[in-house]
Amino acid sequence: MLKILGDLLRHNREFAVGVTLLTFVILVATASFFSPYPAADSFVVPPDLPPSWPHVLGTNSRGQDVFWQLSFAIRNTLLFGFSVAILSRIISLVIGLVAGYAGGWVDRVLMSINDSFIVIPLFPILVLFYFVMRERMSWAWLALAMASLGWAYDARLIRSVALSLRTREFTQRQSGCCTSGMRTSC
Protein backbone atom coordinates (compact mmCIF):
# COMPACT_ATOMS: atom_id res chain seq x y z
CA MET A 1 0.00 0.00 0.00
CA LEU A 2 2.76 2.45 0.91
CA LYS A 3 4.63 1.52 -2.27
CA ILE A 4 1.55 2.34 -4.35
CA LEU A 5 1.13 5.69 -2.59
CA GLY A 6 4.82 6.46 -3.10
CA ASP A 7 4.57 5.62 -6.81
CA LEU A 8 1.47 7.79 -7.15
CA LEU A 9 3.21 10.71 -5.44
CA ARG A 10 6.27 10.39 -7.68
CA HIS A 11 4.60 9.76 -11.03
CA ASN A 12 1.15 11.36 -10.87
CA ARG A 13 1.38 15.14 -10.61
CA GLU A 14 -2.35 15.64 -9.99
CA PHE A 15 -2.29 13.17 -7.11
CA ALA A 16 0.77 14.87 -5.59
CA VAL A 17 -0.85 18.31 -5.84
CA GLY A 18 -4.08 16.96 -4.31
CA VAL A 19 -2.25 15.33 -1.40
CA THR A 20 -0.28 18.53 -0.81
CA LEU A 21 -3.42 20.68 -0.76
CA LEU A 22 -5.26 18.22 1.47
CA THR A 23 -2.33 18.11 3.88
CA PHE A 24 -2.23 21.91 4.00
CA VAL A 25 -5.97 22.13 4.71
CA ILE A 26 -5.75 19.51 7.47
CA LEU A 27 -2.75 21.28 9.04
CA VAL A 28 -4.58 24.63 9.07
CA ALA A 29 -7.66 22.95 10.58
CA THR A 30 -5.49 21.26 13.21
CA ALA A 31 -3.85 24.58 14.05
CA SER A 32 -7.22 25.82 15.33
CA PHE A 33 -6.80 23.60 18.39
CA PHE A 34 -3.69 25.60 19.34
CA SER A 35 -5.20 29.07 18.85
CA PRO A 36 -4.17 31.65 21.44
CA TYR A 37 -7.55 33.39 21.01
CA PRO A 38 -11.09 32.08 21.53
CA ALA A 39 -13.00 31.81 18.26
CA ALA A 40 -16.07 33.83 19.27
CA ASP A 41 -14.36 36.62 21.20
CA SER A 42 -13.99 40.05 19.66
CA PHE A 43 -11.37 42.74 20.29
CA VAL A 44 -8.68 40.39 21.55
CA VAL A 45 -6.09 42.00 19.23
CA PRO A 46 -5.84 45.53 17.83
CA PRO A 47 -8.32 45.96 14.95
CA ASP A 48 -7.47 46.52 11.27
CA LEU A 49 -3.79 45.59 11.37
CA PRO A 50 -2.12 44.63 8.08
CA PRO A 51 -0.42 41.25 7.72
CA SER A 52 2.70 41.00 9.87
CA TRP A 53 4.64 38.32 11.72
CA PRO A 54 2.41 38.19 14.83
CA HIS A 55 -0.74 38.31 12.66
CA VAL A 56 0.03 36.43 9.46
CA LEU A 57 -3.17 37.43 7.64
CA GLY A 58 -3.76 40.61 9.62
CA THR A 59 -6.71 41.42 11.85
CA ASN A 60 -10.27 42.42 11.03
CA SER A 61 -12.30 45.39 12.23
CA ARG A 62 -13.68 43.34 15.14
CA GLY A 63 -10.23 42.78 16.59
CA GLN A 64 -9.90 39.13 15.59
CA ASP A 65 -6.85 37.50 14.04
CA VAL A 66 -7.85 36.49 10.50
CA PHE A 67 -5.55 33.44 10.37
CA TRP A 68 -7.05 31.94 13.53
CA GLN A 69 -10.58 32.70 12.34
CA LEU A 70 -9.73 30.96 9.05
CA SER A 71 -8.42 27.91 10.90
CA PHE A 72 -11.63 27.68 12.96
CA ALA A 73 -13.74 28.06 9.82
CA ILE A 74 -11.84 25.32 7.95
CA ARG A 75 -12.09 22.95 10.93
CA ASN A 76 -15.84 23.55 11.31
CA THR A 77 -16.42 23.16 7.58
CA LEU A 78 -14.56 19.84 7.48
CA LEU A 79 -16.44 18.51 10.52
CA PHE A 80 -19.76 19.68 9.11
CA GLY A 81 -19.06 18.13 5.70
CA PHE A 82 -18.00 14.79 7.19
CA SER A 83 -21.05 14.64 9.46
CA VAL A 84 -23.43 15.41 6.58
CA ALA A 85 -21.71 12.80 4.39
CA ILE A 86 -21.88 10.12 7.08
CA LEU A 87 -25.53 10.82 7.94
CA SER A 88 -26.66 10.91 4.31
CA ARG A 89 -24.77 7.67 3.56
CA ILE A 90 -26.45 5.94 6.49
CA ILE A 91 -29.88 7.05 5.25
CA SER A 92 -29.09 6.04 1.66
CA LEU A 93 -27.71 2.65 2.75
CA VAL A 94 -30.80 1.83 4.78
CA ILE A 95 -33.28 2.93 2.12
CA GLY A 96 -31.33 1.48 -0.81
CA LEU A 97 -30.70 -1.89 0.82
CA VAL A 98 -34.27 -2.26 2.07
CA ALA A 99 -35.69 -1.33 -1.35
CA GLY A 100 -33.30 -3.61 -3.23
CA TYR A 101 -33.67 -6.57 -0.90
CA ALA A 102 -37.41 -6.42 -0.25
CA GLY A 103 -38.53 -5.63 -3.79
CA GLY A 104 -42.22 -5.54 -4.67
CA TRP A 105 -44.43 -2.84 -3.20
CA VAL A 106 -41.78 -1.83 -0.63
CA ASP A 107 -39.36 -1.09 -3.45
CA ARG A 108 -42.00 0.88 -5.38
CA VAL A 109 -42.95 3.00 -2.36
CA LEU A 110 -39.36 3.72 -1.34
CA MET A 111 -38.28 4.53 -4.88
CA SER A 112 -41.23 6.87 -5.44
CA ILE A 113 -40.22 8.72 -2.26
CA ASN A 114 -36.65 8.65 -3.55
CA ASP A 115 -37.71 10.12 -6.90
CA SER A 116 -39.50 12.91 -5.07
CA PHE A 117 -36.31 13.80 -3.21
CA ILE A 118 -34.27 13.72 -6.42
CA VAL A 119 -36.39 16.39 -8.11
CA ILE A 120 -36.54 18.74 -5.09
CA PRO A 121 -34.23 21.74 -5.57
CA LEU A 122 -31.98 21.58 -2.51
CA PHE A 123 -30.72 25.14 -2.16
CA PRO A 124 -34.14 26.89 -1.93
CA ILE A 125 -35.29 24.30 0.59
CA LEU A 126 -32.20 24.86 2.75
CA VAL A 127 -32.67 28.63 2.61
CA LEU A 128 -36.34 28.21 3.58
CA PHE A 129 -35.34 25.84 6.39
CA TYR A 130 -32.86 28.40 7.69
CA PHE A 131 -35.41 31.24 7.71
CA VAL A 132 -38.03 29.11 9.44
CA MET A 133 -35.60 27.78 12.04
CA ARG A 134 -33.47 30.92 12.39
CA GLU A 135 -33.79 31.29 16.18
CA ARG A 136 -33.37 27.58 16.89
CA MET A 137 -30.84 26.81 14.12
CA SER A 138 -27.82 24.86 15.26
CA TRP A 139 -24.98 23.06 13.61
CA ALA A 140 -26.62 19.67 14.22
CA TRP A 141 -30.01 20.74 12.80
CA LEU A 142 -28.44 22.09 9.63
CA ALA A 143 -26.36 18.91 9.19
CA LEU A 144 -29.46 16.78 9.67
CA ALA A 145 -31.42 18.88 7.17
CA MET A 146 -28.70 18.63 4.53
CA ALA A 147 -28.27 14.90 5.11
CA SER A 148 -32.00 14.28 4.85
CA LEU A 149 -32.05 16.06 1.49
CA GLY A 150 -28.87 14.55 0.04
CA TRP A 151 -29.37 10.80 0.24
CA ALA A 152 -31.52 10.15 -2.83
CA TYR A 153 -28.90 9.64 -5.56
CA ASP A 154 -26.85 7.26 -3.44
CA ALA A 155 -29.93 5.29 -2.40
CA ARG A 156 -30.80 4.66 -6.05
CA LEU A 157 -27.26 3.42 -6.71
CA ILE A 158 -27.23 1.18 -3.63
CA ARG A 159 -30.65 -0.21 -4.58
CA SER A 160 -29.39 -1.15 -8.04
CA VAL A 161 -26.38 -2.95 -6.55
CA ALA A 162 -28.63 -4.77 -4.06
CA LEU A 163 -30.99 -5.82 -6.87
CA SER A 164 -28.04 -7.04 -8.91
CA LEU A 165 -26.61 -9.04 -6.02
CA ARG A 166 -30.02 -10.46 -5.17
CA THR A 167 -30.38 -12.05 -8.60
CA ARG A 168 -26.85 -13.42 -8.87
CA GLU A 169 -26.27 -17.13 -8.88
CA PHE A 170 -24.23 -17.29 -5.67
CA THR A 171 -27.04 -15.69 -3.63
CA GLN A 172 -29.81 -17.98 -4.84
CA ARG A 173 -30.98 -20.56 -2.34
CA GLN A 174 -31.01 -24.10 -3.60
CA SER A 175 -33.86 -26.42 -2.80
CA GLY A 176 -34.38 -30.02 -3.63
CA CYS A 177 -31.72 -32.63 -4.31
CA CYS A 178 -28.01 -32.07 -4.61
CA THR A 179 -25.98 -33.65 -7.41
CA SER A 180 -25.34 -36.81 -5.42
CA GLY A 181 -29.05 -37.53 -5.27
CA MET A 182 -29.28 -37.23 -1.49
CA ARG A 183 -31.77 -34.79 -0.03
CA THR A 184 -30.15 -32.05 2.06
CA SER A 185 -31.41 -29.17 4.09
CA CYS A 186 -30.01 -26.29 2.04
Closest by alpha carbon to 47, among 58, 63, 66, 67?
63
- Which helix (H) or strand (E) is 156 found in, with range? helix 152-166
Written as one letter, the residue type at 156 is R
- Cross-strand pairs, 183: 177
pLDDT by 10-residue block (mean), the chain, 186 residues: 90 94 95 91 92 92 93 94 95 95 92 91 84 84 88 93 85 59 51
Rounded to two decimals, the pTM is 0.76
Determine what percent of the chain falls in helix, strand and coil, rounding each to the nearest 5: 65, 0, 30
- The DSSP symbol for 50 reads P
Could you state, in order of their start, the residue ranges of all structural domains in the chain? 35-169
SS3 call for 94: helix
SS3 56: coil
